[in-house]
Structure 1
Amino acid sequence: MHGVTGKPAATDSTANATPRIMLLLLVAMTGVAPISLYMLVPALPVLATAFGRDISIAQMTVSLYMVGIACSQIIMGPLSDRFGRRPVLLAGLGLMVAASAACIFAETLPQLIAARFLQALGGATGMVVSRAIIRDLYSRDRVGAMISLVIAVMMIAQMLSPLTGGLLETAFGWRSIFYVITAASLAIAVAIAMMLPETRRDRAEAGGFRGDVGSLFKSRAFIGYVLCQVLASQIIFTFAGGGPYVVVTQMGRSSAEYGAWFASTGFAYLIGNLFCVRFAPRHSLEKLIWFGLALQLAGSLLNLLWGVTGLNQAPSWLFGTQMLVMFANAFVMSNSAAGAISIRPEAAGTASGAMGFLQMGLGSLFSQFGAWLGGHFATPVALNLAIVILSIACASTVVFLIPRRTVMISEELIEKAEEEESGLL
């Protein structure tokens, strides 16, 4: 890739020496923030009662946590490019440990909300840095598969986290959730300190943050990959925001039934990531993106068709086609993320941070937009149409912004030659 100025601190051979340990570390650092988010959700009504506040105030322990995740992405990514992956990870997890302990001893709801924001700011370091580490360790066409593998393993734990949080709150009270989070984040920090090598690429040029940002955003390919990944993620946020209103209000079903159906889309996303891992060794990154885009658009068009004809007034039609969209979404998101952080590998942290910040920042807006669509219309057609438009926008970024495969091949050859030359030196 353009801008590769030195040999990575660790190569594929390094990763292959301890693949299971490396995978576990990547999963742990990626999942600690989102798992901590979902563990507290079942306890929100109890928090409101315990502190004598309205449930909307207790909800801020979740909403401001998401703001903290977004802020962390844009801060920690560039710092990891400058100071290294290990020190930034350890500093972020150290902040999470301290903030989680503060949550345990919070006496007021505002104190808990502030501590949760700091918890997210530190914990989300692993989300942004893990993608940079994967790019440090693996070649461009293996990055998407590794991101998918990490997501697939993490999602299993993430889907169980609300259940875990609910059981802890019921048995030991809501503060027990933060005892577990504190212990887990401390254990992850110790494991990283003991087992994770520094993987950041050598930087022969002192471009710094401004230089990295400038070079990235001058690249049409980078902008295309980022927009593709971010727009694909907004499909998830939009559907998650509007889905409850469609199922409960429009279809007259229970919230428990909605929860069961929504879990099916998460399962489809998980399976999509596993299939991406399976197909990645035999297909290029671009082919996997196009496969995902085609299937994603087909699923969203079917969803719209059922809405127009009135068939998806039944949850099975709505979620059946949405499962197809989510399966395809896994291919689009992981491989477009791989493309974005491969444009300038020594600035992978900055690229990962910008992508994560846009994803989470826009996600809060699109979630509200989805809720508005679900709550202000009598049928799911408006929500279906929004997902179709997002799917078309995803494909458009690839068509109009990302260079053809021949250009990407030449860039890969440049990167390979540079790495071989560095190895000889």
Structure 2
Amino acid sequence: MTGHTAAASGRRATPMTLVLLVAMNGLAPISLYMLVPMLPQLATMFGRDISVAQMTVSFYMVGLALSQLVMGPLSDRFGRRPVLVGCFTLVVVANIGCAFAQTLPQLIAGRFLQALGGAAGMVISRAIIRDIYDRSRVAGMISLVIAVMMIAQMLSPLAGGVLDAWFGWRAIFIVLAIVTTLFVVALFAALPETRRFELPSADSGFLRDVRALSASRAFMGYVLCQMLASSIIFTFAGGGPYLVINHMGRSATEYGAWFATAGFAYMLGNLASVRLSPRHGLDRMIWLGLTIQLTGSLLNAGWGLIGWNSQPAWLFGTHMIVMFGNAFAMSNASAGAISVRPQAAGTASGAMGFLQMGFGALCSQLGAYLGGHFLTPLPLNIAILALSSACAAAIVCLVPRRNAFVSTDAMIEAEEQDAAVI
């Protein structure tokens, strides 16, 4: 099963396939962040508390979590392409519903459906990368797709703010509906099926895949590392708008510009990972990323203690360090998780995405509470430091230390042999 990937690489990895990978991975996060600068405005407009407005984000992430748990195994069973087409058709319908929502609960429901469909792109893009590239290139290609996608994602809050200023917040969903429709057409026209269908064997099946993955210490360590690292992004995104707009007195457009600096640092981290991962291996890259991430988190908490980060420049300056290291940790942990059992790449990717988004939804609500109910960024800084520390602890406690000295391929082969007895 593992050998077919290398043979497939280069045969199906066309430039158009890479463009579609970027788009399918990015549409859901872009849709999430475009609305973020408008959350304080939506709370006021609909006469609700900020925690209720935040549910347009937290329920979105719940939808992402639940969908990925299902869409990954479905793509393993029925193929990547049909699942993607069906799910992004749902996204088009959900965007239209959001554009015409008359109450905040209606908008929250529309966002939930939007996420249910959009999550397929996130989980299946990782599975497609594992289908068409060999192990040594998976982390680099995940980083490349994320880096290119981040160019659009880091500008999405700014774009959302501009659309709101010119046409109102409903224009965001009209634009998203048009873009997603064009993407569905491109899927029909240009995306090949990358999943290799084979006769069932004694080593295949959803339940067997789940048992084998859950029995792997390396898989659990990588998944927890990726989940906790991504929760830093959700926590900061949840609290950032309230700190910058409500407490620092800046506009939604200015917040979007500051938020783009964090996305820029994350993009640079992924571009660096593209070059360094094949040379240094997954685990060394993860440790380098965790070291940078912890350094930035400590600096951010330090500025908070002495009161320096009451201005956006200090708050986002150190957060850029966090995000640069975060990119190393997330992309390489993702590659490690989906490479433990390649024939179950969709299932592994879905489980990882479910935990990432489910925990991220909780962290987003926590971030909104810390940003909306405290006059200083310090509580948010402490939460991010705690998450950075927990991320490192997951690798220390669960991923065998020999991985730092043994090649990634050798480690994964050992994991597969262990899983084969399950």
TM-score normalised by L of structure 1:
0.84
Cα 1:350–1:373 change in 2 (3 A) is same
Letter in 2 for 1:365: L
What is the CA distance between 1:268 and its match in structure 2? 1.1
Comparing 320-329 with 5-14, greater Cα deviation is found at 5-14
Question: Within the alignment, does 1:54 sit opposite 2:63 as a pair?
Answer: no
Aligned partner of 1:215 in structure 2 is 212
Cα 1:240–1:184 change in 2 (3 A) is closer
Q: How does 1:173-322 map to 2 (within 5 A)?
A: 175-203=170-198, 204-205=200-201, 207-244=204-241, 252=248, 254=250, 259-313=256-310, 315-322=312-319
What is the CA distance between 1:229 and its match in structure 2? 0.6
Uncovered stretches (5+) of structure 2, i.e. residues with no partner = 417-422
- Kindly provide the CA deviation profile for residues 201-245 of structure 1, in whole angstroms up to 9, marking residues without a partner as x: 445426432222111111100000000111111222223334456
- Kindly provide the CA deviation profile for residues 138-197 of structure 1, in whole angstroms up to 9, marking residues without a partner as x: 122311211111112112222333444455455556554444323322221221222222
> Is the 1:44–1:55 contact (alpha carbons within 8 Å) kept by the matching residues of 2?
no
| Secondary structure class of the residue paired with 1:100 | helix
Cα 1:149–1:218 change in 2 (3 A) is same
Aligned partner of 1:423 in structure 2 is none
How many Å separate the matches in 1 of 2:363 and 2:134? 33
Cα 1:288–1:58 change in 2 (3 A) is closer
- Kindly provide the CA deviation profile for residues 284-328 of structure 1, in whole angstroms up to 9, marking residues without a partner as x: 122211111111122222333334444445544443222111110
How many Å separate the matches in 2 of 1:332 and 1:237? 16
How many Å separate the matches in 1 of 2:251 and 2:101? 31
Aligned partner of 1:97 in structure 2 is 92
Question: Within the alignment, does 1:121 sit opposite 2:122 as a pair?
Answer: no
Aligned partner of 2:23 in structure 1 is 28
How many Å separate the matches in 2 of 1:337 and 1:145? 11
Cα 1:8–1:275 change in 2 (3 A) is closer
| Secondary structure class of the residue paired with 2:362 | helix
How many Å separate the matches in 1 of 2:317 and 2:53? 34
What RMSD in Å do the two structures reach over aligned CA positions? 3.3
Aligned partner of 2:419 in structure 1 is none
Q: How does 1:131-210 map to 2 (within 5 A)?
A: 131-168=126-163, 175-203=170-198, 204-205=200-201, 207-210=204-207
How many Å separate the matches in 2 of 1:399 and 1:340? 16
> Is the 1:264–1:323 contact (alpha carbons within 8 Å) kept by the matching residues of 2?
yes
| Secondary structure class of the residue paired with 2:155 | helix
- Highest Rg: 1 or 2? 1
How many Å separate the matches in 2 of 1:74 and 1:363? 15
How many Å separate the matches in 2 of 1:153 and 1:30? 10
Uncovered stretches (5+) of structure 1, i.e. residues with no partner = 417-425
Aligned partner of 1:76 in structure 2 is 71
What is the CA distance between 1:350 and its match in structure 2? 1.1
Question: Within the alignment, does 1:85 sit opposite 2:43 as a pair?
Answer: no
Cα 1:281–1:127 change in 2 (3 A) is same
> Is the 1:10–1:198 contact (alpha carbons within 8 Å) kept by the matching residues of 2?
no
What is the aligned counterpart of 1:323 among 320, 325, 329?
320
Comparing 80-89 with 112-121, greater Cα deviation is found at 112-121
Cα 1:299–1:53 change in 2 (3 A) is closer
TM-score normalised by L of structure 2:
0.84
| Secondary structure class of the residue paired with 1:13 | coil
Letter in 1 for 2:74: L
Cα 1:314–1:289 change in 2 (3 A) is same
| Secondary structure class of the residue paired with 2:192 | coil
